[in-house]
């Protein structure tokens, strides 16, 4: 096939991210400098983010048989790049530049995050099973290293090994499912599979088995019940900025490709598979929230709550008509904002690096009297995750409920309401802990290094954004409406 200028413009976000990876790698080989590596990574990600604007002008465009750049891909590319930028900023604050910083090599962390982000960009624009697999592996493999990056901490190493083994099992299911689907449909492209399934009315048992096995592989990556067992351990063991990346950019990419696969072939989400998705959604919502109730570790609590949040998102995927794609877009944006804020507070509490992250709930007792700014941010994030009105999380939940009601999925709506009620309890428990008065407590705000101040400013911006979208969600709604799959 012949490449034109339009193809390069459409591919610009991915090309610029890939070029940044090469520049950062050469810069590390030439001279190890933490701040230089950070600045190069941030510059590259910002350029990639800006290049989405010209890419929108040439969309939709099938760049190769594997990749389709359309408005849907552009929205999720932007979301992944923003989440990656936030995680890189948090990583810089976390690793520190002073003598009290991280004891190992710091620069490779940025390289691995950039490579995983490139995998995410491939994944959201995939229109072919080969593109999906390449993107998924490029996203997953660097994350194994990221999770185990604090190699001298045995929890981090354990988390890395657990994630690698279970992720490999998920990939095996995914490949087997693809093989069965190819055997039945005779095509690897999403459109070809959609047409082959539509031609026969209901998908054959072979196609359903293939789609089911693919669903298991993707559910592993999204940590949906019953494939969620790795989540709390990996979240707890991973360094805080890596846990933030895992909870946001990584999961958004996988969910976006799942939406594309199910929307292009509506037959895929009918019949037995629809019932399986419904069961997984209800189980994820109830198990995620109930298990979060018992946690005294903030990272594990956020891990279990993320299982519940992706259960809520499955409601829109099961509905798969009307408002569904719009609701998923709105919910993912609000979820990314609030997760970045919550993990950002843990990151800044854990800096400079000292053996383990400050993730135990008792370390947050009376935080308001020591770090009032961080407390304000964490309070807003907890309110938003609970879906309290006037925060971004409320808008996301409202849309998901509207989608469920529109398609008469009453069991799913009931489980969402019940799950949200349980969620309010443990989010409020975290908030109450922040404002407890400790005996002999003097009020002061800890002195921050400049790199931590950059992280702090970003967190305040995230908190303001969470409030702004709760009060005036129209810009977000317009953005998501324009990025439908039809676009």
pLDDT in tens, the chain (487 residues): 677 888 888 889 999 999 999 999 999 999 888 889 999 999 999 999 999 999 888 878 888 888 888 888 899 999 999 999 999 999 888 887 654 456 778 888 999 999 999 999 999 999 899 999 999 999 999 999 999 988 878 888 999 999 999 999 999 999 999 999 899 888 888 888 888 887 776 677 888 888 889 989 999 989 898 888 889 999 998 988 999 999 999 999 999 998 888 876 665 556 678 888 899 999 999 999 999 998 889 999 999 999 999 999 998 888 877 678 888 889 999 999 999 999 999 988 875 456 677 788 888 888 888 888 889 999 999 999 998 888 888 998 998 998 888 888 888 899 999 999 999 999 999 999 888 876 665 554 455 555 567 788 888 998 998 888 888 888 888 888 877 654 4
Of 396, 405, 358, whose CA–CA distance to 378 is shortest? 358
Q: Report the pLDDT value the prediction gives residue 454, as an integer from 0 to 100.
A: 78
Q: Report the pLDDT value the prediction gives residue 438, as an integer from 0 to 100.
A: 67
Entry pTM:
0.92
Distance CA 256, CA 77 (A): 10
Angle, helix 190-199 to helix 154-185, in steps of 10 degrees: 50
Residue 297: strand pairing partners: 360
Q: Report the pLDDT value the prediction gives residue 365, as an integer from 0 to 100.
A: 86
Q: Report the pLDDT value the prediction gives residue 407, as an integer from 0 to 100.
A: 83
Of 393, 398, 363, whose CA–CA distance to 381 is shortest? 393
DSSP symbols for 425-469:
HHHHHHHHHHTPPPTTPPP------HHHHHHHHHHHHHHHHHHHH
* Phi-psi map region of 270: left, alpha, beta (phi>0 left; psi -120 to 50 alpha): beta
Of 106, 185, 199, whose CA–CA distance to 146 is shortest? 106
Of 292, 220, 301, 274, whose CA–CA distance to 411 is shortest? 274
Do 119 and 140 meet the contact criterion of CB atoms below 8 Å apart? yes
Half-sphere exposure of 148 (CA within 13 A, CB side): 16
Do 462 and 377 meet the contact criterion of CB atoms below 8 Å apart? yes
Answer positive or negative: Cα dihedral of 208, 210, 212, 218.
Answer: negative
């Amino acid at each position: 096939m012949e490449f034109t200028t339009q193809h390069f413009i459409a591919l610009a976000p991915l090309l610029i991210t890939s070029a940044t990876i090469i520049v950062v790698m050469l810069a590390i080989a030439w001279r190890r400098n933490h701040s230089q590596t950070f600045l190069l990574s941030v510059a590259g990600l910002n350029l990639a983010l800006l290049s989405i604007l010209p890419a929108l002008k040439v969309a939709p465009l099938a760049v190769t048989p594997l990749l389709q750049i359309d408005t849907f891909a552009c929205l999720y590319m932007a979301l992944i790049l923003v989440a990656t930028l936030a995680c890189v900023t948090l990583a810089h604050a976390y690793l520190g530049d002073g003598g009290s910083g991280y004891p190992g090599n710091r620069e490779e962390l940025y390289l691995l995050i950039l490579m995983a982000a490139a995998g995410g960009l491939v994944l959201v624009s995939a229109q072919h099973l080969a593109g999906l697999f390449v993107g998924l592996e490029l996203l997953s493999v660097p994350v194994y290293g990221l999770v185990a990056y604090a190699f001298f901490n045995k929890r981090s190493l354990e988390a890395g090994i657990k994630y690698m083994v279970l992720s490999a099992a998920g990939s095996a299911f995914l490949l087997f499912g693809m093989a069965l689907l190819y055997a039945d449909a005779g095509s690897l492209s999403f459109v070809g599979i959609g047409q082959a399934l539509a031609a026969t009315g209901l998908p054959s048992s072979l196609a359903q088995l293939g789609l089911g096995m693919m669903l298991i592989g993707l559910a592993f990556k999204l940590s949906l019940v019953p494939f969620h067992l790795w989540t709390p351990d990996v979240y707890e063991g991973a360094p805080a900025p890596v846990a933030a990346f895992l909870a946001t950019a990584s999961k958004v990419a996988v969910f976006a490709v799942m939406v594309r696969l199910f929307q292009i072939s509506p037959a895929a989400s009918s019949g037995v598979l629809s019932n399986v998705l419904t069961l997984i959604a209800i189980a994820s919502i109830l198990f995620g929230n109930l298990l979060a109730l018992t946690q005294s570790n903030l990272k594990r609590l956020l891990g279990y709550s993320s299982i519940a949040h992706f259960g809520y998102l499955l409601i829109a995927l099961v509905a798969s008509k009307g408002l569904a794609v719009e609701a998923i877009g709105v919910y993912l944006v609000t979820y990314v904002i609030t997760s970045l804020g919550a993990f950002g507070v843990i990151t800044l509490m854990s800096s400079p690096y000292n053996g383990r992250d400050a993730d135990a709930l008792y370390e947050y007792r009376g935080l308001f009297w020591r770090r009032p700014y961080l407390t304000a941010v964490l309070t807003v994030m907890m309110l938003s995750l609970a879906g309290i009105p006037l925060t971004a999380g409320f808008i996301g939940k409202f849309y998901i409920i509207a989608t469920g009601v529109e398609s008469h999925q009453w069991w799913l709506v009931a489980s969402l309401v019940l799950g949200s009620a349980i969620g309010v309890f443990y989010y409020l428990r975290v908030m109450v802990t922040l404002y407890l008065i400790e005996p002999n407590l003097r009020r002061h705000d800890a002195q921050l290094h400049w790199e931590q101040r950059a992280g702090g400013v970003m967190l305040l911006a995230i908190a303001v954004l969470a409030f702004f979208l709760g009060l005036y969600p129209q810009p977000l709604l317009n953005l998501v409406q324009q990025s439908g799959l039809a676009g």
